[in-house]
Amino acid sequence: MTAHDVTQIILAFLAVGAMAPIVGRYLAWVFTSPRIAVERWIFRAIGSDCDREMGWREYATTLLVSNGVFFAAGYLLLWAQGHLPLNPRHLAPLTPEVTFNTAASFVTNTNWQAYAGEAQLSNFSQMVPIVFLMFVGANTGIAALVAILRGFTRAGASTVGNFWDDFFRFFVRAFLPSCLLLGLVLVWQGCPQTLATSVVAHPLEGGTQTIVMGPVASLESVKNLGTNGGGFFNANGAHPYENPTPFSNMLEFLAMMVFTSSLPFLFGRLTRRPRQGWALFAVIMVLYGGGLAVIEKSEKAPNPLLAAANVAQASSSLQSGGNTEGKEVRFGITQTSLFTNTTIAATTGAVDAAIDSMLPSSLMVTFSHMWLNEEPGGKGVGFAGLLKEAILAIFLAGLMVGRTPEFLGKKLESREIKLAALALIVTPLLVLGLTAVGVTTTVGTSTIDNPGPHGFEEVLYAFSSGNANNGSAMAGLTVSTPFYADSIAVEMLLARYLPLLPLLALAGSLARKRTHPETAGTLPTDTPLFVALLLGFMLMVGLLTFFPALMLGPILEQLSLLHGVSF
């Protein structure tokens, strides 16, 4: 690793460490200050009484019903693409299964794409249903998190807030202004923002080339700030129109982290325990930093198969830079490692390189991020998942010392532990169950292009990505078939809402509890010891659940590469 690489990584960590507390403090003001005029106008327009607080059941019902309406609206607009404006190329609608997959993907903040955007969607479809679902998916995640946080901050209360109030506060004061600002910067850097569908270029070698374009910058900003990930182009962040320069690459990486990394500090401010926020931020950054170290080291090393074939000796420049296959030469391996580690850890799914071209040791990191899904995780729901892990870790510590577990002055009793455990088991049930179906049935194996562990990884990655609200994918697996399009769509919906319901119920249960003063026997949860406990618990549960899948996929492939076997 060169000094230039080290400098880039240090500056990236410093930037995240500097902006996270500031943004967390700002978000705390957003959700605790009086409403501003724009919010009052919106509430009058929609006829909602946002002063009326909701219990967790009503909050969850409102969330589910509203997202159902958003899903239906997005589906209908995509289905009617051929009859809507801004479609001069007369693009036909997506197939029914891909339309269902796309609407489910974007409303759940997953942005899994079973289509090629520039080839199959009109400018209207990119601007209206896609961007609309990007906004509401991210807003829903933050609103749900704020309701869950109120369970820790309230005592003797029967309500957890108002969904529409939380939804529009974040949208008006944080999300929309940030997207407008980033969009302008990306236009400055070279992202197109136009209603024109294409431009004709005249290459030096003669002839003409038609280049598709459109309102790219606006979609790109909400894609990254909302941890959405769906690109205007099929190449996503590797396309020069979506990511023109190394500076835009760094901006997009920071955009993925700006809100997600600030949520521990929002929690610390709302609970009036800033040290607690720093402790949870440390957990996130240890896992994030560990993943980055592995990816950077892995991708800087030569491909073992090429080295064994003496290709490096025949052309020393081929391997001197590391595993450059599938990497953008404009960015280099270090920026690619930063971007890839961030997009998976923050469950964004945007990519500036080919995931399928990464070495198996790097893929182990991407799988681990998606399965943990909390460092920092997607917009709001990732941090909510980390709090679930913290509750279970405290429960485990309580069992070890024979004391009733407590978290922030709230007694954690059987109801809270059962709800947290219920949210925890959704991921392994969906990921491992659907992967088993994919690799053991004809409809699942018929579209796998690669045999052996790599083909298994591609199926496992697809269902891991759909479950984690991530949306990135490996090549080599055709996912636009009815089996994969429909099964991943159902998985995305279940993985989004099934864990949220027990977490909202958990918040309602905690909000009703009285806060008890800490005693000498209370486990401190803002210390390095607790950070180590939580990290150990997360890694232990992850390994116990997913280690066999890792053995059949990336670990087996890595060992095979070292012995000169490819797939």
Count Cβ atoms within 10 A of the Cβ of residue 234 and give its class: 0-12 exposed, 13-18 middle, 19 or more buried: middle
Percent of the chain with pLDDT over 70: 98
pLDDT at res. 306: 73
Question: Is 3's pLDDT higher than 80?
Answer: yes
pLDDT at res. 319: 59
Arithmetic mean of pLDDT, 350-361: 92
Query: Which range, of 299-303, 334-338, 381-385, averages the lowest pLDDT?
Result: 299-303
Q: Where residue 476 falls among pLDDT bands split at 50, 70, 90?
A: confident
Q: What is the mean pLDDT of the chain?
A: 91
pLDDT for residue 314? 46
How do residues 17-39 score in pLDDT, each as one tens digit? 999 999 999 999 999 999 999 99
Predicted local distance difference test score (pLDDT) of residue 325:
85
Q: How confident is the model at residue 307 (pLDDT cuts 50, 70, 90)?
A: low
Spatial separation of the C-alpha atoms in residues 519 and 527, rounded to whole Å: 16
Bond prior to 517 in cis (omega within 30° of 0)? no
Contact 54, 504 (CB under 8 A): no
Q: Mean pLDDT across the stretch 331-356?
A: 92
Condensed to tens digits (0 to 9), the pLDDT of residues 433-475 reads 999 999 999 999 999 988 889 999 999 999 999 999 898 999 8
Instruction: Tell me what pLDDT residue 195 has.
Output: 92
What tokens were used for 339? 């971007």
Residue 63: which pLDDT band, with cuts at 50, 70 and 90? very high
For residue 411, pLDDT over 60 is answered with: yes
Domain assignment of residue 261, given as a range:
3-270
| Residue 309 pLDDT class (50, 70, 90 cuts) | low
Q: What mean pLDDT comes out for the span 389-412?
A: 89
Give residue 418's pLDDT band: very low, low, confident or very high (50, 70, 90).
very high
Task: Answer yes or no: are the C-beta atoms of 270 and 32 closer than 8 Å.
Answer: yes
Q: Which residue has the higher pLDDT, 307 or 526?
A: 526
Which residue do the tokens 């930093």 mark?
289
Tell me if 454 is assigned to some domain. Answer: no
- Name the token pair of 432: 């491992």
User: What residues have CB less than 8 Å from 403, skipping those under 6 apart?
Assistant: 521, 523
pLDDT at position 254 is 94
* pLDDT tens string 135-166: 999 999 999 999 999 999 999 999 999 999 99
Of 423, 398, 428, 401, give the one whose Cα is nearest residue 413.
398
Range in 76-90, 315-329, 382-396 with the lowest mean pLDDT: 315-329
Structure tokens at 166: 């939380």
Report pLDDT digits (tens) over 285-304. 999 999 999 999 999 888 77
Confidence band, pLDDT 50/70/90 cuts, at residue 218 = very high
pLDDT band at 374 (very low <50, low <70, confident <90, very high): confident
Interatomic CA distance for residues 321 and 312, integer angstroms: 11
Q: What is the mean pLDDT of residues 77-83?
A: 95
Confidence bin at 487 (pLDDT 50/70/90): very high
Statement: residue 107 has pLDDT above 50: yes
Rounded distance between C-alpha atoms, residue 38 and residue 51, angstroms: 15
**What value does the mean pLDDT take over residues 255-263?**
95
Residue 440 lies in a domain: no
Q: Is the pLDDT of residue 318 over 60?
A: no
pLDDT at 351 over 80: yes
328 within 8 A of 238, measured Cβ to Cβ: yes
User: From the CB of residue 199, how many other CB atoms can be counted at a distance below 10 Å?
Assistant: 12
Provide DSSP, 325-359.
TT--TTTHHHHHHHHHHHHHHTT----SS-GGGS-
- Count how many domains the chain has: 1
pLDDT band at 320 (very low <50, low <70, confident <90, very high): low
Of 413 and 402, more confident: 413
**Does 504 fall in a domain?**
no
510/409 Cα distance (integer angstroms): 10
pLDDT > 90? residue 122: yes
Give the pLDDT of residue 315: 47
* pLDDT average, residue stretch 513-527: 86
Q: What pLDDT shows up at residue 259?
A: 95
